Structures are given as structure tokens and as C-alpha cells.
Structure 1
Amino acid sequence: MSDIFDRDRSGELISIHDPDYPKIYKLIQEAHRITAEINTVFHDEDEIRQLFSELTGSVIDETTVICQPFYTDFGKNIHLGKNVFINTACTFIDRGGITLEDHVLLGPNVNLITTNHAFNPADRRSTISKPIRVCENAWIGACAIVLPGVTIGKNSIVAAGSVVTKDVPADTVVGGNPAKFLKHISEE
């Protein structure tokens, strides 16, 4: 049997009663400690990147900017490319894995949610996680929500306030709730 982290990232139903759940809970507590440190006093960009590196367990490139405050429930499954911009008050629920490729822009209050609860009422306290990928040069507008299992294609734009429930093809603009195709992006 694989460990609980592999099972979680692969989309298996994870119960809080799983004997290995304390391993997940320990990292949740660590993420809460680090995000509290990020959010309670002013930090310059280098300090934020250092704290974010501790949060994710990987070095954050010097071209990446993360604005305070920032919220996450886990942290270890966040992967950031180069020249990423994360605006203020973004929330990453990352147990399923969140990847932001190079040159991704996130507006304020963007929510990337990889974990959902089971539909069956008997399992409602259990969770199912699916990854989110935001491809190179994509832009997600203010207050948008991206739900589990979604990929935002290269160069695409998610309009402010949208709720993205399905993959967004490359070079397109989507908007609304649920987000729908609005137009293709053309080079001008």
C-alpha cells in the first residue's frame, strides 16, 4: 500500500480516521504556522520567498513575487515556475497539487482549490484531491475560483469573479459561473 500522501495526490478518498491521517495533519499545522508568520508582520520580497520556500519545501525563484497575505492548508504540494506573480489574499488548497508554470499571474483573492469532500453523506468528512495546473503565461483575474482537476491552458485568461469547473484550452478567455468560453486570444 502506498503512503497517504501518494494516495491523496492520486485522488483516493482520504478519511480523517485513516491511521496515517496524522501525517497529513502534522503538515497542515506546519503550513498554518508558516502562513501565520508570513501574514502577521511585513516582510520584503526576499523574506517572503524564503518563508514560501520553507512552506513548499523547494526553492522559490528570485523572479517570483508573492504578496501578503497568503493562505494555504498544506503547502508542500505547491510548485511555482519563474516570474510568477501571486497578488494579495490568494488561497491555495493544495493537497492535490498546484503547479503554476512560468509567467503566471494571479489577481487578488484568487482561490485554487484541489480538495473536495465526498458526495456520499456517510463519507462527507473524507476528502478527494485532484491537481490544478496553470500553464505558462496564463492570467487568472481577481476573485476567481479554480476547482479540483482543472488545467488552465497556456496564455489563457480567466475573467475576474469566474468559477472554473472544467479545463480551459490554450489561448482563450473564459468567464462567468460556471466559466464559459468568451473568445480566442489572437496576436495583434
Structure 2
Amino acid sequence: MNKETQLQKNFDKKGFNAGASSLKLICWYFTSVMFVRSGIIPFSSILVMILRMFGAKIGKDVRIKPGLYVHYPWKLTIGDHSWIAECRIENLAEVRIGSNACISQQAMLLTGNHDYKKTGFDLITKPIIIENGAWIGARAIVCPGITVKSHAVLTVAAVATKDLEPYGIYQGNPAVKVKDRIIS
């Protein structure tokens, strides 16, 4: 047996629990593909309703654009007046997005990763918290376990590998603070 086969056999999900029955997972998959990800429904209010039907906790006046990918809506919380573009929320663990936050086009919120040092390539999941007023720019990536604090900005294509300070503007890979956010 070669190393590649051995790694595949030993993959360990470390007791991962999707948080829903197989039936709910299947129903969500097909509903998501047909209505949420496809872009066939252009109305935010209907997309919000579908996500809520599957357990997402969504505040008032939230705008959700067609083409959104949410892995598990029952592990998603969004505060009031937030705007979620056609992005990818790979929420194997909880994702909390505060009020007045923005997640831009093709951004990725990734709560799962693997321990590449283990032969079992063990699954690691950690929650993501996007606090009130934060903005995740287009094609930016937020890694597992990160907190984007109040009103912080992760600019276009930046990668957050560490928590972002309140009112900081971050860019690059890995993202570094470049200046303070001044709101007038």
C-alpha cells in the first residue's frame, strides 16, 4: 500500500456532526442547488425565507444576493441590516455575522481545515465571527477560528489568518493592518 492510499484510508473526521439528519441534509442540498445557488430567485426576501426554513437565524432587513453558497444554514446567524453577496460560506462550524456587516462577491468564510501533520488528515473545525459593521471584500478569505472585530475591513483578495482588530483595514496574504478605518 502506498502513502496516498494509506492517507485516504485513515481520514478522520474527529467526530464531526453536521447538526442535522440525513433527510434534512438531502433536502437542503437540493433546495440550495435549485433555488439559492442557481440564481433563479432574484428576490432577497425569498432567499432569506428559504434560509430561515432550514434554521438560519437572520435579522431584519438583510439583503442576500442570488448565487450564495451556504453549507449548513442551521449553523448561520446574520444580524440586522447586513448585506451578503454571492459568496461561499463553508460553515462546518458556526458562522456569526453581525449587524450592518457586508460580505462581498466571491468572498469565502471557511470554518474547516485539515491537520496535514497527521496521517489521518484530521478534520479541524472552528467558528468564524464577523462583528457589527465589518466588511469582507470581494474574493477575500476568512480562515477557521477568526474573529473580524467591529467595523474592520478585509480588502479585496486578502486572507485573514489572524483576528482583525476593530476599525482596522487589512490587506494582503496573510492580511496585515495597513491603516485605521475612519468613519465620518
Please, what TM-score do these two structures have when normalized by structure 1?
0.81
Structure 1 residues 109, 92: CA separation in 2 closer, same or farther (over 3 Å shift)?
Answer: same
Query: Is residue 52 of structure 1 aligned with residue 51 of structure 2?
Result: yes
1:107 to 104, 108, 117: 104
Residue correspondences, number: 171
1:182 to 173, 178, 182: 178
Q: Please report how far the alpha carbon of residue 59 of structure 1 lies from its aligned counterpart in structure 2 after TM superposition.
A: 4.8
Distance of 1:135 and 1:128 partners within structure 2: 23
Structure 2 unpaired stretches of 5+: 1-10
**Equivalent pair of 1:135/1:152 in contact (CA under 8 Å):** yes
Residue in 2 aligned with 1:153? 149
Q: Please report how far the alpha carbon of residue 65 of structure 1 lies from its aligned counterpart in structure 2 after TM superposition.
A: 0.7
Q: Deviations over 1:17-40 (max 9, x none)?
A: 85x868667254343223112233
Structure 1 residues 122, 66: CA separation in 2 closer, same or farther (over 3 Å shift)?
Answer: same
**Equivalent pair of 2:36/2:69 in contact (CA under 8 Å):** no
Q: Please report how far the alpha carbon of residue 123 of structure 1 lies from its aligned counterpart in structure 2 after TM superposition.
A: 1.4
Structure 1 residues 76, 22: CA separation in 2 closer, same or farther (over 3 Å shift)?
Answer: closer
Q: Please report how far the alpha carbon of residue 42 of structure 1 lies from its aligned counterpart in structure 2 after TM superposition.
A: 2.3
**Equivalent pair of 2:14/2:123 in contact (CA under 8 Å):** no
What is the SS of the residue equivalent to 1:46?
A: helix
Equivalent residue letter for 1:73: H
2:166 to 167, 170, 179: 170
Q: Please report how far the alpha carbon of residue 60 of structure 1 lies from its aligned counterpart in structure 2 after TM superposition.
A: 2.6
**Equivalent pair of 2:60/2:79 in contact (CA under 8 Å):** no
Structure 1 residues 22, 85: CA separation in 2 closer, same or farther (over 3 Å shift)?
Answer: closer
Please, what TM-score do these two structures have when normalized by structure 2?
0.83
Distance of 1:83 and 1:145 partners within structure 2: 22
1:34 to 31, 34, 37: 31
**Equivalent pair of 2:57/2:76 in contact (CA under 8 Å):** no
Q: Please report how far the alpha carbon of residue 96 of structure 1 lies from its aligned counterpart in structure 2 after TM superposition.
A: 1.5
1:117 to 114, 126, 141: 114
Distance of 1:162 and 1:71 partners within structure 2: 20
Q: Deviations over 1:143-186 (max 9, x none)?
A: 00000000001011111000110000001100000000100123
Q: Deviations over 1:102-149 (max 9, x none)?
A: 00011100100001112234211x311101000100111100000000
How high is the sequence identity, in percent, across the aligned residues? 20
Q: Please report how far the alpha carbon of residue 95 of structure 1 lies from its aligned counterpart in structure 2 after TM superposition.
A: 1.8
What is the SS of the residue equivalent to 1:122?
A: coil
Distance of 2:82 and 2:44 partners within structure 1: 13
Residue in 1 aligned with 2:6? none
Residue in 1 aligned with 2:71? 73
Aligned-residue CA RMSD in angstroms? Answer: 2.3
Distance of 1:93 and 1:130 partners within structure 2: 11
Structure 1 unpaired stretches of 5+: 1-13
